[in-house]
Structure 1
């Protein structure tokens, strides 16, 4: 490459020719002579060295995080880079603090060290024995200046009770013994306990891997046998009072001191505050296609060139030798990188063979040509001049990144194996020098004819082979392009695509020490071990196909599924409105306004006009409210925004007039709040007023109604059930003028106007907040009451974790389920609830699911070992950041027919009202979704679709054909209804779209 850059000064691109008596040239000539003379011995020595370097490869690299081995690269760009400073526009979202407890060298697993660590942990966090922070969340006021914090207040802020700006969680190796001093003392085999509980999870589903709770680990046969330090880690939001409490307690411990341990630093204050920036970005489609084309062209170029050289005994044998050398080079480089702890997981694995394939094959071809084309009558010192100088140029490397270090090392090994393995094989394979000279002379005569000179070299190479034009810079250009792509990803990708900040704060204003990221915190390992914090953390949708997602990258993106998946980011450079951190989202009934609830305000965004609207200040104490939605108001241009807090206080915000109204719905903490707003059925010539139904911790049910004088709250006295507990959740049925009052193992159907119980259903133990309902279009029987053709509800059973569906049909086909009082007369076609036919179905391991208007229940779960056939499934496309990218795959089967599917994949399943079950893999062969251990938000989109957040991807799953353009009245009548009976007989067509 340097000779091309020096062309304006030298007038030629050919490398300089060393004098035959030059020492370097003489040494290479002597080496080549000895290799040709002792070719078998040289090959044997080279093979022994390669074997010694290849043998440790499976033990040094692994995708199993049990041992502390290096991680093989994935199909993903990832990095964890310390930032020198943060500006005002970028603040850390999450703070991580840790304490390392050391004993004697590699003796951290001794009972005495464990008990001392437990004492430190309880001093700095409070009592943690049998830690179970699940509590009913109440409004909590905390004074940051207090030196003590009660256990109840501390546990209330835990992330398991709901994500807020005060959330926190911790993980510690002492959780293997439930943080019990007695359990540690009674444990006779600590090593066995540690290895047995390797896959134990915390309350926030963080697996207590050895790589995050121990440091300085030693493994034998994939079992931990010793550790140098115990690592206790606290992860909390920036404004969490638990983090501040940790700081105060650490300072107090440092000032107090102890005879059992020595604190470093002695004052308990951290010496450094280093923010980290995490990048996690799957390989793009264009990159995969470009790499596939590059590797294909490289293989074709090498094979075609080799096949065109006629002075070889066995072209196939030489091709096998070349492939073997490439494998030797590639594996040896990885082994050395693992020995020197070079982390290669930051760059996708597809990029690493570029150096070996292009530079290695180019060097081989140059050597073959130098040996074959040079006449045998020349002195041996004149023969190797072409390759060695050229290869010496190729060895230079930039060394500014992991990729450059790998490239440099790969070129060194390529040069070594080329001289000790490929060159001896070549000397055996090349025919007698006399034949070489004859062929060379004949080629010179043939190529010097006028007809041959007019032939273009590239066309001659394609049809004849062996006359490849000069390619001395192909490998160098490939290397430079690969380095530029890496630089682009790590510079622009971090700043604009997937930005995540993880900082450790202290009183120090700047970083005193720059430290490397711990081995267990490499991006791929950290994300996998920590349960893969999803990028999309909040999502909502409207029935018009508008999807709004909020990611940890502080981007609010709006998608329009109705118009081909077009999307844009909520941003206005000319405005100073900062909606972060986002606590809740809501979309009005017309899909015109998006309401964003932040810590101190509510901001409106105009969806079609892409601009900010009115804002109002509101203080929710940094906690996510129990409900946040738009109400209905026929007079105002913008519907009022309703906020219902956990303490029962409702706030109605009139955004245009900047007026707020409050109502105390209930005096006890609420556990469920549901709006009853979408019933547009006209009653007595008027539209029913909006209502809000709540259930409290004590089981009381209230209905807040908007009357002419304002909002009024009424207490509902539902019948007491002797063998069941109080109501714990509510499900409104606006189209039926009713709602469902849900207890532990029974459900009451209650009329919204009379407050009478229409019917009671007996169920299994219901997991609170999981019950959903679907029903057919509302009918009006001859008796004048409410009528239905079918009715079904589904829930998650607490004991089994299975989804249970209970459907109800009239006893005679064509009849109507009647809501009238059983004591009143009805028509011939009326079927009372006690006369209906009940059917029950169940789904094992349902994952996250939603009930759709079409009567189907659709969910997403981990791939099962055995799946059912997915008939008539069509995967229609991918909804990407720049529009709709078609990836049509028809007649896709379930996971049972995908032998390549792994247990960490996902599948979509559906259950019809008649018990028909269907499943299909969620990820196509084109997707590169890695390290996603938990689903993100799942929400309904339109009558027949759901949106699922999977990492930084939003999947749109449709049953049948979605219609977003229905009229408001029709949509509201069938808001949770089922399709007509003729349509219900059809099997579902699962379609999906992906939003990046």
Structure 2
């Protein structure tokens, strides 16, 4: 509702959608990720809080109104409320009372009780052995207008029949049969009072402690002390007993002046107040309304959950929702009871309704946001992102309703006011349990894929489009689970809440005009209009433990019910004119409180005093039981959860420096799938690094192995099994066995100082005798086998000089095919396919599309490759030699294109498909890193790449609509695209006065840019300006980070450089950058996985672990990639 109230200022009723970089959203998202990664901790915390607040309920609530516990709600509407002076209401009964005090909280002693009995006898006449029914049998009637005789008084008692002259009274002295002797002889006054707490008088009203004492103190569910003895007379308008009480009260102060101080001194009650007492059972109309409300809420919940199609978890979600709401309600009951809020004035069936309506709104909004998160993200990221999107709206909505309830509580009657407090506290607890209990249980549900598997693939694409549009969930109006909560669902909770408060107030106002009553209450926030404030009345110096008005409002409901039954048997309420009490205080009494009275519910202190040890044991036992239950439910997932928790404490970016291996700059890098990096430096050292552990390394050649590996090295390659390293120099190709760490016999070449166009291993080779393919610039393809003296095979692939060449591999269940793609200077594209020991070459005519071509990029294992030109990228099937589709791009820097993809196993025979395809390149005009991600359109699940049998098919990607998500990263420096679509790079931070070199990403640092320590002025260069960054294609802040490249004290190990050297991906989410003579291995998203094909079948498992959010590392700061 707050968004509708703010419409004149905001111009929209939609809740605000915070930017992904907004600090509030980042805080909530970080919290959500923490809860999802620490499920057991979150469940234990919420369960502990729930246990602490739910377990005491049987001890704090009771249906016995005299034991210091809170009253339990029943099926009635009850209230004791003052009416305005101008209320046109005739009172049904009049009440006058006497309050007898001694020392503060010292009213329960025999002497004061006997003195109170004397006062009672002075006002009513002798009451010893009072039995008004005897007068009825004697049929004594008054025949004169003088003072009433005892028989006449008794005959008018209400027990002898209800007339306009009837009367009755309440007095605690009935416990001793109104006898002074019995009072003085009683050895244990407190025991007598507590044992006879349910004693009834002749009017069939129970003389409970709340009726006959004021300012009570309870201990161990028993009355321990009271501040005043209360004697109350009830009489109808024509009763002579009331008139005699008033006449005798005016002369009483003179009679007892030696024993009591009397207030008011003249014995006259100058002021009075009309009060209305109600005890209205819940009606059939109320039952029907509540049934309809709960039915609509249940229908709304079931219909909303049915749209999830999560058949496995629908029942579990309902149980979780009901449990959360039950926890919220019972927790609120406990808090309200402890702080003495009387919740018994409204039927108990009404309490869950408001909380249910408010809770469902936030719960379903959160589930909706989780559905719209990318399915390939990890559970922690999905939960965190969804909570970050919705938490501020839920919190604002909760706080709005709390403020509304607090405001209403100041305007409505006391019973409705307590209900408003209850609802406000329940809403606060509901948000707490939503952000702990429900969030953690939901994360387990999503992790187990019971919810995620039921989601349609379309939601994945919608989440992609969502990140493109705004970087956050964009709710729509065309349905709840495809959009924003509709008008009714967004304000239904607030409407139900306010509506119920109004209805409850109407119940208490009866037929009076509701707005008029609210206006009257608003003019007096305390609700007791016309009553004197205790602090300004004549009783101020008495330090009464409870004021008269407070005592009236504290009367129990059963007493009101009994009085109604006595004076208006067919009604549910009565109006009484209550006169201010006549107060008698013993002479020389100490009325100053020497200790502060407990402010909380007495039963709460009793609970802590008697149940403390058992309470603690119960909490420990429940926590232990829940821990065992969680272990059982998450059986087999403990290791994963522990890994998630450990990784959640790690930075998103981790940096490992491989130093002390080279003296001069690293000029070439290569890698193996098993986690090895091969580096060649200008100091003629070839070194193999094992980055799987501590970064150990060994030297392959150091310049002295001229026979095995003469320098310079022109090219090198590592086979897919991480066994062989091939090193090509101008005169030979050397083979190094990386497992056995020994040389194989080299294969000699004709002298050539040119770098080859391509160097690659044959994937079908014999590991004992590895075979490589070498493509020279003249178009010659040579196949060389280790250990053989001569070249195995020489083929002419292209008659004209070669511009570009690259091998392409296609794997399926039966075979592995090897292709060679060549682009000549004449613009001719040739695709050679190896068939046994020969190569079959086909010419592909691209025509004008070949102009300004600068790069061939294979899609590993798919048998396809990307052919990059200046403004477009062609996706080509190597086996069919045809173009599948063309992607339009900005003008890119030559040889800057990189790609990653997520494959999809289609059910179409011979057809390949992609879930996503990411292209990244450097824009030639700005130098920005541009990331273009292609996903299927809303009504498709896959980007089909066509049939392998050739020809154009209607399912080809070129004819299927796709969605494009585009992102730009400014000042990227040197960067690399990872297999999960994220980009990681190293750059120099922009700083005035420093000239930086922006080389092409992917191009090795030029030798002339290298410097040595001391050759550049220190004031012009600082290692602190180097930073490493990472960004996701969807632009989510939890997957982006920027931090310093160097840790403090690490600079001395590095050379001063103005540009980076070569780079290469290692594993699935690591990149090795050459920084002078040191290799910087940057890992994004946790522990690296080696030996996996990141672009193919293992991509899904990678995504589910690599997308986790890490704690920012030292020197990290907010991403500034935009």
TM value normalised by structure 1? 0.47
Q: Which has the higher contact order (CA 8 A, sep 6+)?
A: 2
Larger radius of gyration: 2
Q: Which structure: greater helix fraction?
A: 2
